[in-house]
């Protein structure tokens, strides 16, 4: 679900509302409908969350603001005190706005950081020492920057930090932020991965009521810029990013059915997915005990050795299977009874293991929409392959070729490009009296074509779970898309790729920072869902990114002397953005803070 803004005018007055919408498919294509309309929420309806700049820590944690103003001001701010109205004589023509900074997006990220309790945990893991900036603050900066899609520490230090209000929010001036400090923070942070993962797991339980009976596991890869010669894990392998020219590492991610990340492991770039399962299962059991869990994995993780390993540990699993396993269930595919309809275009049924393995069953699934799509893809491949082979036939009939190997390579190139069509089309080279290739005869395997037609839209799941409802088993399996979605978020929204670090420890720490920012992002989605705002975090982040902080500079005359009064303020968000903040219960600092009130030297 996602949010859609609606603007309307009534009697010359403009209003903005948000509709919660959902996308669904029909026979005529995708459609959208409004699930709910978010009415106007007045600020007074969210009690206890008002506060000024002095209440910033409480606002970030979502706690009620202190009744008595805090006496310790933020670094760089003037004294913290609630003062009565103050009237000044101001030259309005000299009023100016300076130091406009991005406030909304980093403020949201920092609020998530505090509400997950990571500020207190980092203060414990990275206690203050003799350094001028606490490492816990730099760790927060690294994660917030990654949440805001900053792809390199160098870019954060040289440009991005100065464009944000983080110097106010973190209390760290821009003059002490440099790339070397950020790199050293990675070195300090990397050693605390296990403690961070355990903390997040507990915080998910407290905040969202998450249970951990199901664990989703998937593997992706991220590539390096450069040779990464000092990192033994940087190897060439199967690239999900289509960058086979670059070295890479593989990342195994464990998450909940809601997509909340629990743990990760980094593997060598040339390691196959199927070899990582045992390591991940052992690691999770060592950290959190050998509890009764159901592991959900795609078919790339499946091997008989892995399943036997899980059965030996009395673990439950629900996994995808290779397409070739469908051959044992062709008879069931043709039957019309004993199918359970999950939705309009999807049916499932429970079938026994053909090998008679005790306690193990298969869930046979067939989707009419998926079948139409796959058959259309096969038809397109067949048409293209037929066209290419016809071109070869025409060329050979016009000019026979004596180099048979060259002809074979040309044919093989097209067969390899269209493998699905190659399974049902057969190409036979014909020779003339001199042994030259003079024609190409193409025939279709009718039986193979019919078999491929039946299997389109069908797939098979394998499980040893005690659940006997095939529809429920299917619903559990499709939750695996949350892990895939987490990878997409990490890569597209959080800048996981490419990796610019070459040292192995820093690469691990870089991925840990991406993992923490993913935890913030997924927690935001759960927070939004609980407040009836859908789960499209990208849209909310984009809307809040319009909020700025700035300095208002006022030329003030007092007893005949002109002074420059500089006040820092957060711009009032537009009504549509204010509605989203109100529904979240997220409050911005109110009022102004005096930054400077000085007499210019020329006037002294």
The phi, psi pair for 536, rounded to 5°, reads -90, 85
397 by DSSP, 3-state: which? helix
Contact between 569 and 552 under an 8 Å Cβ cutoff? The reply is yes
Structure tokens at 169: 């929010």
For 519-567, what is each residue's pLDDT tens digit? 999 999 999 998 888 888 999 999 999 999 999 999 999 888 888 899 9
The least confident of 65-79, 255-269, 489-503 is 65-79
131 has pLDDT over 50? yes
CB within 8 A of 292, min separation 6: which ones?
A: 213, 314, 316
Please tell me whether residue 379 adopts helix, strand or coil conformation: helix
Say what the pLDDT of residue 73 is. 42
Q: How far apart are CA 464 and CA 348, in angstroms?
A: 17
Pairing label, strands 548-558, 96-102:
antiparallel
3-state class (DSSP) for residue 495: coil
Q: Does position 602 have pLDDT exceeding 60, yes or no? A: no
Q: So what's the pLDDT on residue 75? A: 37
Mean pLDDT calculated for residue range 50-77: 57
Residues facing residue 253 across a β-bridge:
218, 264
- Per-residue pLDDT, 352: 84
Residues in the chain, how many? Answer: 604
Q: Which two tokens stand for residue 196?
A: 């961070």
Question: Cβ of 600: how many Cβ atoms within 10 Å?
Answer: 11
Q: Which one, of 409, 419, 601, 557, lies nearest residue 93 by Cα?
A: 557
pLDDT given at position 54: 65
How many whole angstroms separate alpha carbon 436 and alpha carbon 568? 85
Q: Residue written as tokens 């892995």?
A: 306
- CA–CA separation, 154 and 156 (whole Å): 5
* Signed CA dihedral, 514, 520, 522, 525: sign only: negative
Residue 14 pLDDT class (50, 70, 90 cuts): low
CA dist 508 and 94 (Å) reads 52
3-class DSSP state of 97:
strand
8 Å CB contact between 7 and 14: yes
- Stretch (H or E) spanning 319: strand 316-320
**Cα angle, residue 75 at apex, residues 73 and 79 outer, rounded to 5°:** 35
Q: Which of 265, 464, 268, 448 is nearest to 357 (CA)?
A: 464
Dihedral pair phi/psi, residue 549, rounded to 5°: -110, 155
Closest CA to 252 of 242, 241, 264, 263: 264
Quote the strand ranges of 445-578, DSSP E.
Answer: 458-463, 548-558, 561-570
Q: Which residues pair with 38 in a beta bridge?
A: 18
Q: Say whether 72 sits in a helix, a strand or coil.
A: coil
Q: Which of 28, 143, 91, 192 is nearest to 514 (CA)?
A: 143
C-alpha dihedral sign at 121, 122, 126, 129:
negative
Give 21-60 pLDDT, tens digit per residue: 778 777 677 778 887 777 654 444 444 334 566 667 777 7
Nearest to 220 by CA among 520, 526, 494: 494
* Cα dihedral 178, 184, 190, 195 sign: negative
Mean pLDDT value across residues 395-404 = 94
């Amino acid at each position: 679900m996602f949010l859609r803004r609606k603007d309307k005018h009534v009697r010359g007055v403009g209003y903005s509302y948000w509709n919660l919408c959902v996308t669904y498919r029909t026979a005529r294509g995708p459609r959208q409908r409004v699930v709910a309309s978010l009415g106007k929420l007045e600020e007074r309806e969210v009690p206890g969350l008002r506060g000024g700049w002095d209440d910033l820590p409480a606002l970030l944690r979502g706690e009620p603001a202190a009744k008595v103003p805090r006496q310790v001001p933020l670094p760089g701010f003037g004294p913290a005190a609630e003062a009565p109205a103050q009237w000044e004589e101001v030259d309005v023509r000299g009023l100016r706005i300076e130091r406009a900074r991005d406030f909304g997006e980093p403020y949201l990220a920092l609020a998530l950081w505090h509400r997950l309790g990571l500020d207190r945990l980092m203060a414990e893991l990275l206690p203050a020492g003799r350094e001028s900036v606490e490492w816990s603050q730099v760790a927060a900066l690294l994660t917030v920057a990654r949440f805001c899609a900053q792809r390199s520490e160098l870019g954060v230090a040289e440009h991005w930090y100065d464009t944000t209000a983080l110097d106010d929010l973190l209390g760290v001036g821009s003059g002490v932020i440099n790339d070397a400090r950020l790199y050293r923070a990675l070195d300090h942070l990397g050693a605390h991965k296990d403690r961070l993962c355990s903390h997040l797991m507990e915080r998910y339980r407290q905040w969202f009521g998450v249970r951990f009976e199901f664990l989703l596991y998937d593997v992706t890869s991220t590539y390096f810029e450069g040779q990464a010669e000092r990192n033994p894990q940087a190897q060439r392998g199967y690239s999900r990013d289509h960058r086979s020219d670059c070295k890479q590492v593989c990342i195994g991610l464990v998450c909940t059915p809601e997509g909340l990340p629990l743990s990760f492991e980094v593997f060598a770039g040339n390691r196959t997915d199927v070899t990582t399962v045992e390591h991940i299962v052992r690691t999770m059991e060592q950290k959190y005990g050998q509890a009764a869990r159901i592991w959900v994995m795609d078919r790339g993780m499946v091997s008989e050795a892995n399943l036997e390993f899980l059965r030996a540990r009395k673990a439950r699993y629900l996994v995808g299977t290779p397409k070739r396993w469908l051959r044992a269930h062709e008879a069931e595919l043709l039957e019309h009874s004993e199918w359970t309809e999950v939705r309009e275009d999807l049916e499932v049924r429970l079938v026994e293991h053909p090998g008679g393995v005790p306690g193990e069953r298969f869930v046979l699934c067939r989707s009419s929409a998926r079948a139409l799509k796959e058959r259309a893809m096969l038809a397109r491949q067949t048409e293209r392959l037929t066209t290419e082979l016809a071109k070869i036939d025409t060329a050979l009939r016009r000019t026979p070729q004596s180099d048979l190997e060259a002809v074979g390579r040309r044919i093989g190139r097209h067969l390899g490009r269209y493998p699905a069509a190659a399974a049902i089309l057969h190409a036979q080279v014909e020779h003339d009296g001199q042994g030259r290739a003079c024609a190409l005869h193409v025939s279709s395997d009718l039986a193979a074509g019919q078999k491929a037609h039946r299997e389109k839209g069908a797939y098979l799941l394998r499980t040893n779970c005690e659940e006997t409802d095939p529809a429920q088993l299917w619903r559990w399996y499709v939750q695996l898309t949350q892990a895939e979605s987490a990878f997409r978020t990490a890569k597209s929204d959080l800048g996981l790729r490419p990796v610019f670090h070459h040292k192995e420890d820093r690469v691990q720490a870089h991925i840990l920072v991406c993992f923490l920012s993913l935890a913030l992002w997924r927690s935001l989605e759960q927070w939004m869902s609980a407040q009836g705002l859908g789960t499209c975090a990208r849209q909310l982040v984009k809307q809040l990114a319009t909020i700025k902080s700035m300095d208002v500079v006022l030329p003030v005359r007092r007893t005949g002397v002109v002074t420059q009064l500089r006040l820092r303020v957060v711009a009032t968000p537009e009504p549509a953005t204010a509605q989203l903040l109100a529904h979240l219960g997220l409050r911005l600092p109110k009022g102004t803070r005096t930054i400077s009130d000085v007499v210019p030297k020329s006037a002294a």
